[in-house]
Chain A
Amino acid sequence: MSPLYTHRFLFIGLLFALTAAALGSMLSGSVDIELGEALDILAHSVSPGESLNFSDDMQVKQAVLMQIRLPRVMLAVITGLTLAVSGTVMQGMFRNPLADPGLMGISAGCAFGAALFAVLGANWLAAMGGISSVWALPVAAFLGGLLSTWLVFFLGRSGQRTDVATMLLAGIAINVIATAGTSALKFVADDQALRGVVFWLMGNLGSTPWDRLLWVAPVQLASVVAMFFYAPTLNAFLLGEAEAQHLGYNVERSKRILILLVALSVGLSVSLAGVIGFVGLVVPHLLRRLVGADHRVLLPASALLGAVLVLLADWLSRTLLAPTEIPVGILMALTGGPFFIWLLLTTRYRFVR
């Protein structure tokens, strides 16, 4: 019997939660949109041309729904999915319950890249002919994240092998260096130059337009799907690297590919949505408690739960104090932290079941 079928109720529940959260998120905001109106708009948008019959009021609602809320929901889903699956992969690969995408120095590297650009690069770009920083900041962030991940990976290699323990330690070191670099830049730069970066560091799902989303999301989705195929390898990893090798898995190659996939998808996610912590850490822990350590179940379940969590966090972030928005990263850490502690207190569970 397929392990997915064994846990079918969990998946049905998660899919239901995802749909409910997405709908709820799409129907709430400063502009009131009813469920019927939303469905009407969605139906008309699928077959364009008919929207011309809409009243002025409905046209505003259509624009709000299609241009603001839908891309936002999409970005929340893709971000949550990427972060949670990457977190699960990292924990499985490192056989360490503390591992999450942030540990590879990705987030810190992205932050440093963005800050460096904001302080030094923005003026230079403006002098080059006023290229909008709307594109440049995410690109700088992505490059920073990629560079730091490569450094961690490089430091973790000894000869032909990749030593996971060394990589973890190197990750901590690179994190510290990149964070200190960002602090140093914050110290020397004026408020105006860094306003965008500080904001972006706290996570934001609201400012990504369709075109950028449509470029980046497919790459992220493809990386996540590729990671799904490594579920049996990750299961073998749980026994130990040597054991996995003996079972016939190409351990070195798998590690390299997985790290590359995580770096790519998380780097892209951070460059679009900023730093949203904790999803990658909490989701695999929670699910391992519910369904065990089988990555064939764990990976797809993580994807769904991660998407639901980020959707809910974003929904709260823009409705709690509307029209003021709370940065979603802050909200996630504030709710995720206590939840994680509760998880620790209620179960002294073993990492591998």
Chain B
Amino acid sequence: MLFRVTSGQVLFAGLAFFISSLCFAQIIVTDDLGREVRLAKPAQRIVSLAPHNTENLFTAGAGEQIVGTVDHSDFPKQALDIQRIGNYKQVNIEAILGLKPDLIVAWSSGNTDESVQRLIDLGLPVFYSEPETFEQIISNVERLARLSGNLERAAPRLTEMRKTYQALQTEYAGKQPVRVFYQVWDQPLITLNGEHSVSHAFELCGGINVFTDEPTIAPRINIEGVIAKNPQIILLAGHSAAQSVGWIDTWAKWPSIDAVAADQVKHIDADVINRPTQRFLEGTRQICELIDTARAALP
């Protein structure tokens, strides 16, 4: 046998590997699909495949390390200057490779599996992000900070986010429940069920989503269903206050709904609340305040 391996050689190889791993400290992080993501050194050229990832990367202090992102990555303002590599459903693999990225931040429920799988097959490290709860949003930012070597820089923001979350928890725990109807769209009438992160925000504020038990995450419902559920506050999540105004008029015709009778049909900015980012915490604070006003108006 030409290559005879002695036990001494094995020992030496093991020792060498151990020492080398100490010298080139690896970064190991578990992503939201439970996969392990390993980087030899902090990522410097990051490609984000979802608007919420871009936002979370900025919060993690890695905004300047993003070399490519998808359409609709519009927050913060600096994100608009980053090169686009397609939209979240349809990314251009060649354009991504051309950017020579050392980390891809993907979105498991949004991106097409095939295209992300191709990136994985090509040997690129991929971090799948799918934050749903407050804890998961904060942990997402933290892990992105770790991967991009910004843990120290992000520390104050992470503390701030945790504080906001805890403050909301203590403030609204045990308050009188309020029935909430959350309107995503008017034609067709769409709401969200209890699985959606927005519904978790209601729970935190002491609100009850009236359509929490619907089978689909964004069910298409009818006006009659809302009348029967009789919500005490209606939150209109239009993309602008002007859009929501049109929706308010529709509800004014139904004074039998408690929310309408008590004038508790309110606008909430969809962009703030729909993305699982730091802004979601801000949006939750707004929702809690609106729900609290409705609570005060209860007979």
Min CB gap B273→A, angstroms: 15
**Would you call A206 an interface residue if the criterion is a C-beta within 8 Å of the partner chain's C-beta atoms?**
yes
Contact call B72/A318, Cβ cutoff below 8 A: no
B71 touches A199 (CB 8 A): no
Chain B: which residue is nearest A318 at the CB level? B222
Contact B188 A64 (CB under 8 A): no
B227 touches A (CB below 8 Å) = yes
Stretch at the interface among A34-42, A153-161, A320-328: A320-328
A207 close to B188 (CB less than 8 A)? yes
Query: A31 near B219 (CB under 8 angstroms)?
Result: no
Chain A residues in 8 Å Cβ range of B254: 63
Contact of A324 among B185, B215, B227, B246 (CB under 8 A): B215
Verify B187–A199 contact, CB threshold 8 A.
Answer: yes
Cβ contacts under 8 Å, A67 to chain B: 253
Q: Is A132 in contact with B246, judged by CB distance below 8 angstroms?
A: yes
State whether the Cβ of B242 lies closer than 8 Å to any Cβ in chain A: yes
Q: How large is the interface on B (under 10, 10 to 19, 20 to 34, 35 or more residues)?
A: 20 to 34
B246 touches A325 (CB 8 A): no
Q: What does the 1/0 interface line of B148-190 toward A look like (CB < 8 Å)?
A: 0000000000000000000000000000000000000101100
A132, A190, A324 interface centre (most CB from chain B within 10 Å) = A324
Q: In the assembled complex, which residues on chain B have CB atoms less than 8 Å from the CB atom of A321?
A: 215
B225 with A30: CB separation less than 8 A: yes
Shortest Cβ distance from B211 into A: residue: A323
CB contacts (< 8 Å) of B253 on chain A: these are: 63, 67
The residues of B that contact A63 with a CB separation of less than 8 Å are 253-254, 256
Q: In the complex, A64 Cα to B226 Cα: how many Å?
A: 11
Q: A59-B256, A324-B215, A325-B220 are in contact. List 15 more A-B contacts (CB 8 A).
A: A30-B224, A31-B224, A56-B256, A64-B227, A67-B253, A68-B222, A190-B71, A195-B185, A196-B185, A206-B223, A207-B188, A323-B214, A323-B221, A323-B224, A324-B219
| A68-B188 in contact (CB<8A) | no
**27 chain-A/chain-B pairs, Cβ below 8 angstroms:** A29-B224, A30-B225, A30-B227, A31-B227, A59-B256, A60-B256, A63-B256, A64-B227, A126-B242, A130-B242, A190-B87, A196-B187, A200-B187, A206-B188, A206-B222, A206-B223, A207-B187, A207-B188, A318-B222, A323-B211, A323-B214, A323-B219, A323-B221, A323-B225, A323-B226, A324-B221, A325-B222
Nearest CB of chain A from residue B72's CB, rounded to whole Å:
7
